[in-house]
Amino acid sequence: AGIPVPGLPPNPHPAQVVNLSLSGEGPCSPALQEALDEVRARGVLVVAAAGNYGRDYRDYFPGNCRGVLTVGAVGPDGRLAPYSNRSAPLLAPGGDGASGVLGPTLGGHRLLKGTSQAAPHVSAALALLRSRGAASPEALEGALLAGSRSTPEGRLLDAFAALKALEGGGVALRVEGRLALKPGEEGSLAVEVLSPYPVPVRVAAEGGLAAYLAPNPAQGTAYLRVRAPTGTAPRAYRVRLEGGGAWATAEVQVEALPARVVLSACSEGGACRSLALPSEGGPFRLEGLSPGTYRLLAFLDRDGDGALDPEEPRGEAEARPPARGVRLLVR
């Protein structure tokens, strides 16, 4: 890639596309990510194999590193190969069953199968696009994704359509990773807007999630901010992004808050004070209450949303301050 190496002369022919036909289980290490960031900063495109474990590619490096275009494998019928890791941004021929991809070996060639065979198809297509002019890496990758064919299992490489997309200034959107939130929390995901120009992106979130993209219009890396309001039910949600004729989906998993006991004390006038106790209960103390009769309600907040649901155990009592030794049995 042309990165200086101490003791060696400068590389007169630095790579413009790097193919990584390798995969290992685990997160992208800081050292590997730093190296890839340096390569990308030089305008070099990096392609990686998704892995041959039949699982989600985001659990395997270097395909789960930032700035890498990860490739899964299809068989001769265009279907995802059983061995291929899933959910990769792009698919290409990798062989399946009795069919393989012709590859080199020591002293000759033989048929090989795997995402390591699929990735070079994409690297070659990027090299082809690069040979057509001085387009930016974002425009090249965007054209490749914009020209790909949509299938039930992902987007399939189509080099001819990618050339057409490059001529028309193709646009593609890609979401980096997934997001896990608890009700009341906010988080962000990196979104790659692959385009030779800034693109306005429409953001639509499911289930009452609040979401926006910044900056917007966007080119290159932008950030999708997502908030799960208090009371959001725990389940999987999707945020759809659309722009320039392209679209992508961000996956957001809202997790349940730990169970707890919520205790509220409400006056006859309707003013309430609340506090939270561990799920097994415990002693409580409410101070600064005005004189009068108070209705005490305690319930086991199993889903952590702070609201009493019909199936949640509860206990009630009345008290007038100052009162001591008040007990509520939640059942």
Domain boundary among 234, 254, 274: 254
What mean pLDDT comes out for the span 134-160? 86
Question: pTM to 2 decimals?
Answer: 0.62
Question: Of the segments 50-59, 136-145, 277-286, which one has the largest average pLDDT value?
Answer: 50-59
Give the count of alpha carbons within 13 A of 10, CB side only: 2
Check: CB of residue 33 under 8 Å from CB of residue 65. Answer: yes
Residues 274 and 145 in one domain: no
| pLDDT recorded at residue 227 | 96
Same domain as 248, residue 110:
no
- Report pLDDT for 197: 78
> Do 181 and 41 share a structural domain?
no
Q: What percent of the chain has pLDDT over 70?
A: 98
Number of domains observed in the structure of the chain: 3
Q: Which of 149, 170, 191 is the last residue of a domain?
A: 170
Q: Worst-scoring range by mean pLDDT, 77-86, 298-307, 317-326? A: 298-307
pLDDT confidence tier of residue 169, bands split at 50, 70 and 90: low
* Per-residue pLDDT at 204: 97
Domain-embedded: residue 305 = yes
Query: For position 86, what pLDDT does the model report?
Result: 95
Confidence (pLDDT) at 171? 78
In a domain, 6, yes or no: no
43 shares its domain with 82: yes
Pick from 203, 228, 254: which residue ends a domain?
254
Domain that holds residue 275: 260-319
In this structure, are 82 and 148 located in the same domain? yes
Residues 66 and 165 in one domain: yes
**pLDDT at residue 83, as a whole number:** 94
Same domain, 127 and 150: yes
State residue 270's pLDDT score: 85
Six token digits for residue 194: 């692959």
* Alpha helices in the chain, H assignment, sequence order: 30-41, 115-130, 137-146, 159-167
In a domain, 4, yes or no: no
The answer to whether the CB of 170 falls within 8 A of the CB of 146 is: yes
